[in-house]
Amino acid sequence: MEAAPHIETEADLLEGLQYLAGCVASCMHLAFDYERDHPFLQSGTGPFTKMGLDNPDTLYFGTRVQPDRDYVVTGRRGTTTDLSFQVLGGEYTDDNVPASQIAFDDRELDIAPDGTFHWQLRPTSPGQLVIREVYGDWSQQRGTLAVSRLDTAGTAPPPLSRQTIEKRYATAGKQLVNRVKTWLQFPSGFTSTSRSTPWWRLG
């Protein structure tokens, strides 16, 4: 990190090290607080765990999804400015931006008079479900969100094993390396002399 070309001052470096601490916390959370067959929404990005450009008015929630499995998202709409849903076909890396398989906001939901809603999806490939709750005004009321997989709802996950714990540590380490490499390279998209097709361009 100290050798990154965009680190020009001591303040840049200190903010980068603070950012790194958030990355460590986030990757541990995403690796350990996770069950593939019993999904729940995680908060891997937020006020203290940044990823990429800062978005101070948004809370992010997400989970990995598997192909040919039925998932149900339920919740109650709060009074925030926006609530949007997206399914990405993979993860961000230093040389790839995952394709967006579906994206919409709460205007396309069938929301009941009491604010509750229900949305069912069946992914066709491994990916990520990402939900963004956008505030603008932090005095607004936060909504509630939950996800379940229909074929495993109501069942218990398997007990922990040494193999599971070792795999989670390895996963957290891999995610941390990928995240740091990805976002250290991100500024090059703004400084490159060739901007015809920057790698970070969102689809």
pLDDT digits (tens, 9 = 90+) for 32-67: 999 999 999 999 787 778 777 777 889 999 999 999
Same domain, residue pair 65 and 138: yes
Q: What is the 3-state secondary structure (H, E, C) of the chain?
A: CCCCCCCCCHHHHHHHHHHHHHHHHHHHHHHHCCCCCCCCCECCCECCECCCCCCCCEEEEEEEECCCCCEEEEEECCCCCEEEEEEECCCCECCECCCEEEEEEHHHCCCCCCCEEEEEECCCCCEEEEEEEECCCCCCCCCEEEEEECCCCCCCCCCCCHHHHHHHHHHHHHHHHHHHHHHHHCCHHHHCCCCCCCCCCCC
Write down the mean pLDDT value for the chain.
88
Q: Is position 82 within any domain?
A: yes
State how many domains the chain has: 2
* Residues 8-25, mean pLDDT to the nearest whole number: 92
Same domain, residue pair 56 and 69: yes
Pairing between β-strand 58-65 and β-strand 100-105 as defined by DSSP bridges: unpaired
Determine the pLDDT at residue 94.
Answer: 63
Instruction: Kindly state the tokens that stand for 84.
Output: 């949007």
pTM above 0.95, yes or no: no
Determine the pLDDT at residue 199.
Answer: 37
Same domain, residue pair 53 and 138: yes
Same domain, residue pair 40 and 103: yes
Same domain, residue pair 4 and 78: no
* Residues 105-117, mean pLDDT to the nearest whole number: 96
Determine the pLDDT at residue 71.
Answer: 98
Q: Is position 40 within any domain?
A: yes
Same domain, residue pair 127 and 40: yes
Determine the pLDDT at residue 120.
Answer: 97
Same domain, residue pair 42 and 63: yes
The residue segments making up the domain with residue 27 are 1-33
- Does 106 have pLDDT greater than 70? yes
pLDDT digits (tens, 9 = 90+) for 62-102: 999 999 999 999 999 999 999 999 999 877 666 777 788 99
Helices 162-185 and 10-32: crossing angle in degrees, nearest 10, is: 150
Q: Is position 119 within any domain?
A: yes
Residue 163 amino acid letter? Q
* Residues 23-36, mean pLDDT to the nearest whole number: 94
